[in-house]
Amino acid sequence: MVRFVGVENMVRWVRSIGVEQIVADMVDYLEADFTRWDQFDKTPRVASHSPYGVIELMPTSDRQTYSFKYVNGHPINTKIGRQTVTAFGVLADVASGYPLFLSEMTLLTALRTAATSVMAAKLLAPPNASVLSLIGTGAQAEFQALGFRSVLGMLTLRVFDTDPQAVQKLRTNIEPLGFDIVDAATVEDAIAGAHVITTCTADKTKATILRDDMVASSVHINAIGGDCPGKTELDAALLMRSNIFAEYLPQTRIEGELQQLDPKWPATELWEVLTGASPGRTSGDQITIFDSVGFAIEDFSALRYLSDSVADTDFFETIDLIAEPSDPKNLFGLLD
Amino acid sequence: MVRFVGVENMVRWVRSIGVEQIVADMVDYLEADFTRWDQFDKTPRVASHSPYGVIELMPTSDRQTYSFKYVNGHPINTKIGRQTVTAFGVLADVASGYPLFLSEMTLLTALRTAATSVMAAKLLAPPNASVLSLIGTGAQAEFQALGFRSVLGMLTLRVFDTDPQAVQKLRTNIEPLGFDIVDAATVEDAIAGAHVITTCTADKTKATILRDDMVASSVHINAIGGDCPGKTELDAALLMRSNIFAEYLPQTRIEGELQQLDPKWPATELWEVLTGASPGRTSGDQITIFDSVGFAIEDFSALRYLSDSVADTDFFETIDLIAEPSDPKNLFGLLD
């Protein structure tokens, strides 16, 4: 039998542990896995593009455990009341090839994306960062806010979205949790005084959410929304005067902000900073950019943490996904 | 909610329809999908190899429906009482990216492999074929026997396996269903007088199950077991004097018997024969070989048939694999 965490169990589990504790724990799992980077099989995700959006499979393996995630990206979905991103994922045993664990990953991806942002900001944000700017207050926004508060103690949010209802939704959801939320009328206003800027917008176009002249210095930009070919958020000139960090460059150069620059433009993979092989932020006035596109090892870490966390609980059920004939050569015998 | 066909429901469904009817129906779906070959996105499967075996993801799409299969191949598993191959698969809606249907595919793959063999043999077997030779009587054998009887009326089986218990298992399972089964002491004996020879052995080595000098003429060889790099069953000299047919040549030249020959060795894709673009068997004394490795479109067809077949039945349940917040931008609201 395969363990299965569906949406209802996922919601119960998140309520039980709390978003802030989950992001903090997940950062530990991410750091542990990114630190042993060379143990993983790494491959760019396998994407099936259509005029409506993209469906992707994201596999990886540390040679003991295999994982993959199914995830779609359909920005037009929100116009018909559906989500841009839905996902589910699987852990399997490399030695036998048998799947072990299946989970919804729409919520889990939101948590792991926030945790990955926080892991990068721990390495790259200016010291004593306290003001977080959120450009785009869609489905990811609350997870960012809670994650940054949990691990980096950031309490002040300056927020902007072209949809005022999305801003109001954020305020309703998390102001009661003790945040100081500043509504900004423009992107310029939203980033004024911010130490970390998260851009998380959904349009599948080459947008310029942050123009080069808007951004002064001494800031870390957590660029989440540019994550597939033809979908970017930052001015190329801004990229060129910043220090750029990424998850896995062969994928980011195709899908991230880096698609705008020469394929040899210098950039650093996060694991190099974690292991000390490369420096992170080297001066206070630097602009650092985490060109985040989402990578399979993050889903591996998130599933590994979830699987460990629910092991001795009732936050999962079992499903008969895999046939188990008593004689493996007698599959037909199952039909008797 | 996502519809889910687990092992128990799969077994109930197969018992309800019957293996022979299912293979016959599935051949119809396969022929319909192979005939519209150019509507599909085609990509070689994404394989993760380890010293123990391989885990693969096999995606495809006809631009309306997307499918993928998770499947492993671990020949060593049978030594510890586990199966060489287990699988599950998903259908999703290309327009929204939402998954719609999840199914066990260990049994379904056995059925679709038999159906694909039968589809090829309909095009390639000598006229009036009645004797089927089965070399290797593992988990696939009964499905082959029933499929070939259902669609091509083949009633006589000549069987050989290095494991006498596997032969006895086949006899116990299907002799009561009216087959004339001849135990052969050697491979030579098993193929004597056969019109179709199915080779389906599991060792992950370059084996020579059929040597060139064993095979005379006027036969169709259905070569199933050679399906990944380093795993073949046929003598290269036998290949070179036969007409070779395949599912999708970019994959077969890496994984099939064709890996033994020059990458430009002539071979024909089955869809070309189905549409009349290329000839199938052109003379009675020819040797034809279906160099079968299994391709994603076959799983697409099998899932499509299963999904249609169970639609108005109770052979499925629903699972909450995908979060559905009422406001798609308010994923966090699910946690309230």
Tokens 């995700």, residue located: A45
> In B, which residues are within 8 Å of A56 by CB distance?
none
Closest partner residue to A88 among B11, B137, B322, by Cβ? B322
Q: Which residue of B has its CA nearest to A174?
A: B332
- Residue A101 in tokens: 């664990």
For the annotated catalytic residues of A, the residue numbers are: 227
Predicted confidence (pLDDT) at residue B136 exceeds the cutoff of 80: yes
**A287 against A85, higher pLDDT:** A287
- Residue B142 in tokens: 């009964």
- Pairwise CA distance, residues B65 & A254, whole Å: 26
Q: Confirm if B102 and A70 have CB atoms less than 8 A apart.
A: no
Q: How confident is the model at residue A204 (pLDDT cuts 50, 70, 90)?
A: low
Q: Could you write out the three-class secondary structure of A250-304? A: HHHHHHCHHHHCCCCCCCEEHHHHHHCCCCCCCCCCCEEEEECCCCHHHHHHHHH
Smallest CA–CA separation between B241 and chain A, in Å?
33
Smallest CA–CA separation between A224 and chain B, in Å?
16
User: pLDDT by residue (tens digit) across B180-216?
Assistant: 999 999 999 999 999 999 999 877 677 888 999 999 8
**Phi and psi (nearest 5°) for B220?**
-110, 125
Closest partner residue to A96 among B74, B96, B329, by Cβ? B74
For residue A84, give the nearest of A111, A113, A52 by alpha carbon. A52
- Residue B198 in tokens: 């199915």
Decide if B312 is catalytic: no
Q: What percent of chain A has pLDDT over 90?
A: 88
Smallest CA–CA separation between B282 and chain A, in Å?
35
Mean of the per-residue pLDDT values for chain B? 95
Mutate to test the interface with B, among A321, A324, A326 (most CBs of B within 10 A): A321
Mutate to test the interface with A, among B16, B70, B157, B171 (most CBs of A within 10 A): B70
User: pLDDT by residue (tens digit) across A266-308?
Assistant: 999 999 999 999 999 999 999 999 999 999 999 999 999 999 9
For residue A10, give the nearest of A112, A118, A152, A138 by alpha carbon. A112
Residue A179 has what pLDDT?
96
All domains in chain A, ordered by first residue: 2-108+297-335 (3.30.1780.10), 126-294 (3.40.50.720)
Smallest CA–CA separation between A161 and chain B, in Å?
12
Taking an 8 Å cut-off on Cβ atoms, the answer to whether B52 and A96 are in contact is yes
- Residue A70 in tokens: 């199914």
> In B, which residues are within 8 Å of A102 by CB distance?
321
User: pLDDT by residue (tens digit) across B304-332?
Assistant: 999 999 999 999 999 999 998 988 889 99
Closest partner residue to B320 among A7, A169, A325, by Cβ? A7
User: pLDDT by residue (tens digit) across B247-270?
Assistant: 999 999 999 999 999 999 999 999
Residue burial B213-235, b: 16+ Cβ < 10 Å; e: rest: ebbeebbbbbbbbbbbeebbbbb
User: pLDDT by residue (tens digit) across B80-91?
Assistant: 889 988 999 999
**Phi and psi (nearest 5°) for B115?**
-65, -40
User: pLDDT by residue (tens digit) across A3-45?
Assistant: 999 999 999 999 999 999 999 999 999 999 999 999 999 987 8
Mean of the per-residue pLDDT values for chain A? 95
**Phi and psi (nearest 5°) for A187?**
-60, -40
Q: How confident is the model at residue B227 (pLDDT cuts 50, 70, 90)?
A: confident
Taking an 8 Å cut-off on Cβ atoms, the answer to whether B166 and A329 are in contact is yes
Q: Confirm if B108 and B10 have CB atoms less than 8 A apart.
A: yes
Closest partner residue to B46 among A7, A59, A74, by Cβ? A59
Tell me how many residue pairs between chain A and chain B have CB atoms under 8 A apart.
236
Residue B204 has what pLDDT?
65
Q: What percent of chain B has pLDDT over 90?
A: 88
Predicted confidence (pLDDT) at residue A53 exceeds the cutoff of 70: yes
Q: Confirm if B67 and B84 have CB atoms less than 8 A apart.
A: no
Residue B140 has what pLDDT?
94
Mutate to test the interface with A, among B57, B61, B83 (most CBs of A within 10 A): B83
- Pairwise CA distance, residues A270 & A306, whole Å: 23
Residue B231 has what pLDDT?
83
Q: Which residue of B has its CA nearest to A13?
A: B335
Tokens 């920005």, residue located: A75
User: pLDDT by residue (tens digit) across B73-82?
Assistant: 998 898 888 9
Q: How confident is the model at residue A230 (pLDDT cuts 50, 70, 90)?
A: confident
Predicted confidence (pLDDT) at residue A167 exceeds the cutoff of 90: yes
For residue B336, give the nearest of A11, A85, A83 by alpha carbon. A11
- Pairwise CA distance, residues A305 & B281, whole Å: 56
Smallest CA–CA separation between B216 and chain A, in Å?
31
